[in-house]
């Protein structure tokens, strides 16, 4: 008898009284998600408890009234500060004690589904400014700054997800060259860690590179052999002439003193 009761109890616990589904399997940021289901046995005024998870993190929670025919539904707008991660989201509903059902859907925020292409005006100090054309997917550009001490252009990003950034670097202001004047490779650091990059197009006026980044990355350092040269050719010529005049003057003064 005891064995029979245990077997009946186990079978009953495994049979859930509730079902759940969504009106689609894939959603983008801003979409309306309709979650619905049915309760096979209504228990008084007990509500359905709904929880929405992304990688174990709770995104939304609600209690839903069950209709007289046992059906229920709930609507969620896929937007807000918690809707930043791309991937599979889990809908979990429970009704009473031990009655649980789950369903999944895929979600993509706009930052991962859309790419932004525009120009960024970089402050070059006494040289004014120069434009860097870029395309970014998976985040946004916060700033671009020049670090002349390490011959680098530092791109500061807000990476909402894994993504890519393509930069068109004007040779006039930043480059990586060998002693013979031919192109050399850049050193790319993301938050201090060296990473690889791809260079698909080489132009006479610029070099175009693509860098992959991960969610929450912030600083991308593009290090070459020069960046916004401290002395332009004209300034360098004036400097050389000034040094030459100084040397000649010094020699003449020494000669006059000698005689």
* CA triple 85-86-88, angle to 5 deg: 105
DSSP strand E in the chain: where?
Answer: 21-22, 26-28, 32-38, 48-54, 57-64, 71-77, 87-94, 100-108, 115-123, 129-147, 152-170, 174-175, 187-190, 193-195, 198-202, 206-213, 219-223, 226-227
**Are 218 and 156 a contacting pair, CB within 8 Å?**
yes
**Are 95 and 39 a contacting pair, CB within 8 Å?**
yes
For 80-93, the DSSP string reads STT----EEEEEEE
- What is the band of 8 on the pLDDT scale with cuts at 50, 70, 90? very low
Q: What percent of the chain has pLDDT over 70?
A: 81
Q: CA–CA separation, 19 vs 39, rounded Å?
A: 7
Q: CA–CA separation, 96 vs 70, rounded Å?
A: 13
Long-range contacts of 180-188 (CB under 8 A, 24+ apart): 183/207, 184/224, 184/225, 186/222, 186/223, 186/224, 187/221, 187/222, 187/223, 187/224, 188/220, 188/221, 188/222, 188/223
* CA triple 13-99-76, angle to 5 deg: 160
pLDDT for 249 equals: 53
Q: What is the mean pLDDT of residues 232-237?
A: 43
Paired tokens of 215: 């969610």
Q: What is the mean pLDDT of residues 76-92?
A: 92
The model scores a pTM over 0.75: no
Helix (H) or strand (E) holding 3: helix 2-14
- What is the band of 11 on the pLDDT scale with cuts at 50, 70, 90? very low
**In the CATH hierarchy, which top-level class contains the domain 17-108?**
mainly beta
Which DSSP state fits 156? E
Q: What is the mean pLDDT of residues 214-232?
A: 84
Asked which of 9-13, 106-110, 115-119, 143-147 is least confident by mean pLDDT, the reply is 9-13
Please tell me which residue, 224 or 235, carries the higher pLDDT value. 224
**Structural domain spans, the chain:** 17-108, 111-233
């Amino acid at each position: 008898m005891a064995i029979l009761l245990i077997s009946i109890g186990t079978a009953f616990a495994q049979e859930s009284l509730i079902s759940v589904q969504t009106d689609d399997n894939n959603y983008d940021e801003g979409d309306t998600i309709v979650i619905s289901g049915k309760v096979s046995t209504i228990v008084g005024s007990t509500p359905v408890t709904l929880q929405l998870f992304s990688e174990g993190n709770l995104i939304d929670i609600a209690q839903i009234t069950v209709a007289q025919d046992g059906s229920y539904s709930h609507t969620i707008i896929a937007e807000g500060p918690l809707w930043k991660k791309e991937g599979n989201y889990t809908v979990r509903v429970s009704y009473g004690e031990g009655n649980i059902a789950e369903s999944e859907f895929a979600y993509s925020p706009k930052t991962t589904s859309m790419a932004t292409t525009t120009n960024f005006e970089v402050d070059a100090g006494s040289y004014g400014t120069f434009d860097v054309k870029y395309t970014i997917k998976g985040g946004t550009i916060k700033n671009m700054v020049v670090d002349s001490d390490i011959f680098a252009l530092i791109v500061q990003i807000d990476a909402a997800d894994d993504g890519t950034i393509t930069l068109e670097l004007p040779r006039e202001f930043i480059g990586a060259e060998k002693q013979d004047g031919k192109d050399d490779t850049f050193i790319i650091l993301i938050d201090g860690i060296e990473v690889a990059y791809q260079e698909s197009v080489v132009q006479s006026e610029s070099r175009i590179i693509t860098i992959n980044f991960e969610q929450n990355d912030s600083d991308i350092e593009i290090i070459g052999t020069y960046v916004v040269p401290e002395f332009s050719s004209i300034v360098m010529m004036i400097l050389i002439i000034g040094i030459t005049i100084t040397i000649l003057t010094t020699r003449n003064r020494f000669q006059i003193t000698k005689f």
